[in-house]
Chains A and B, each alone.
Chain A
Amino acid sequence: MQYLLLIYENEKRFATGYDPAEMKEYMAFGETYGKAIKGGNALRATTTATTVRVRDGKRLTTDGPFAETKEQLGGFYLVEANNLDDAIEMAGKIPGARFGCVEVRPIETFS
């Protein structure tokens, strides 16, 4: 099964850039789970976000994320895992889990 591991943290922590020690941890995570990781990225701050809606056929574009929350989506991994327990184990090894939280979402399949 595939799972999306969504990393939520208070993005203020990255206002002045990334901590090099933490970056190294992310590199190590990538190496450990290299085979399982199908994709993933860090995201720029929500201040750079744009929200798009279509209502009555008209496109509405606004700035910022759709809702104000304490923790923001800051990055993600797409991983292949045998089951939820294996995905949970990977999620627990993401450095961001120590500061914010990681949501584990199974990928829907259409047959």
Chain B
Amino acid sequence: MSELEDVFRTEWGRILSALIQTLGDFDLAEEVLQEAFSSAVVQWTTGAPRNPRGWLYATAKHRAIDIIRRRTNFAEKQTELVIREECRTGNFIEEDSAVPDERLRLIFTCCHPALPAEAQIALTLRTLCGLTTEEIAHAFLLPTATIAQRLVRAKTKIRKAGIPYRVPSAPDVSERLAVVMAVVYLVFNEGYSAALGDTLVRQELCAEAIRLARLLQALLPEPEPELDALLALMLLHDSRRSARVQANGELVLLAEQDRTRWNRAQIEEGCALVQSVFQRGPVGAYAIEAAIAALHASAPRAEETDWRQISVLYGRLFALHRSPVVALNHAVALSMAKGPEAALPLVDALQSSLEDYHLWHATRADLLRRIGRTAEAVSAYQRALELAQNEVERKFLNRRLEELAF
């Protein structure tokens, strides 16, 4: 049975993308592909066919024709005509016929800017990655009904608003690719923020995001440096996964992580990608973030981190995105390169925009602690603790507070 599971994992998105192209109907394509996999459970007991993809595609298409025949709606009859035409031309029943790869259309349609972001994410995971509605709900800690409703609304909008099933034309492609990359990164971050005690499905989101980025890389006609950079960024963050959280669920600071537990192969691939992106010309935000992650990943010991370079990169990132959170990170890097006294005024200047952000208080507390202004550090840690939601972060802040008490 695991053979079939493998086929499901690797082939679902590809076959579905081809079925949607032929049938012009997301729901019908999904329904018949599901049924084809159900038939496979029964029929593959003595072993998978020579061409599993072709078998599943042909079986699903047969099923679709049966369903369409039973329908009476005129518009759907027209779809039937197209399929019948294909039957006549003979490129249909052939189990071995090549199944066209339409996944690039599929991902651009799922990530269409006319769909809300949370629907883009759910639809991408359902159609391209083959996650079930239950799995997506589990991964996002939401009720299954909520995800089911998002999927239904998104598919209805695709149909009723006339969202096309195609790769956008050249002038729009970079704007649209930015949306796709944002979806991929959101999927990754949802998985990355998951800590110990969270389900495996949540952490698998990181792997799905990396897989999606690789898929896009393979499908795009032109290489896209920002996509390479996004892949590098995710590989580098993900390389630290097993060193980030202790057995008791406590977050381990970057400086305190056991670097021998970092995934070397991922770090090497990530660093090589960053290097090639920077060699190719002007860089975007993902590239700068990836370069920062690469500098952390290549320091053999925390004390050898190139903070000067990191602080320069945060400066460049701030020039692209004038966000207070980036400014906060810049201040942290500066405190490591030039000392906490140099960074504190920068952090204080961000008070009005970040007053309700627990990491602003935690950062300030850390600087005050390092300067030796203990009483002020304690009250800043306490404020951070009041605002922090994540259990892992709360544990860390509590530990800092206990240390200061002695």
Give A contacts to B, CB under 8 Å: 1, 3, 81-85, 87-89, 104, 106, 111
Contact = CB atoms under 8 A, between A and B. Distances in A.
Interface in B145-187: 160-164, 166, 168-169, 172
A85 B172 contact: yes
Contact of A85 (B73, B74, B75, B168): B168
Contact of A84 (B74, B164, B169): B164
B114 interface: yes
Nearest to A88: B114
Contacts of B168: 85
Contact of B75 (A82, A87, A111): A111
Interface string B96-116: 000000000000000010100
Interface in B176-231: none
Going nearest first, the 7 A-B pairs with the smallest beta carbon separation are A83-B164, A84-B162, A1-B162, A83-B162, A84-B163, A106-B161, A84-B161
A3 to B, nearest CB: 8
Nearest to A2: B162
Nearest to B159: A106
Contacts of A89: 172
6 contacts: A3-B162, A82-B162, A82-B164, A83-B164, A84-B162, A84-B163
Nearest to B168: A85
Contacts of B172: 85, 89
Interface in B23-77: 73-75
B320 to A, nearest CB: 24
Interface in B116-164: 160-164
Given A84-B164, A85-B168, A111-B75, 16 more contacts: A81-B162, A82-B162, A82-B164, A83-B166, A84-B112, A84-B161, A84-B162, A84-B163, A85-B163, A85-B164, A85-B166, A85-B169, A87-B162, A89-B172, A106-B161, A106-B162
B365 to A, nearest CB: 42
Interface of B: 73-75, 112, 114, 160-164, 166, 168-169, 172
Contacts of B166: 83, 85
B172 to A, nearest CB: 7
B274 to A, nearest CB: 34
Nearest to A108: B160
Given A84-B114, A85-B172, A111 B164 contact: no
Nearest to A109: B75
A85 B163 CA distance: 7
Contact of B74 (A1, A88, A104, A111): A111
B163 A83 contact: yes
B75 A106 contact: no
A49 to B, nearest CB: 28
Contacts of B163: 83-85
A111 B73 CA distance: 9
Contacts of A104: 161
A3 B114 CA distance: 14
A71 B160 CA distance: 26
A83 B165 CA distance: 9
A1 B172 CA distance: 21
A88 B172 CA distance: 11
B160 A106 contact: yes
- Give the most central of B73, B161, B162, B164: most A CB within 10 Å: B162
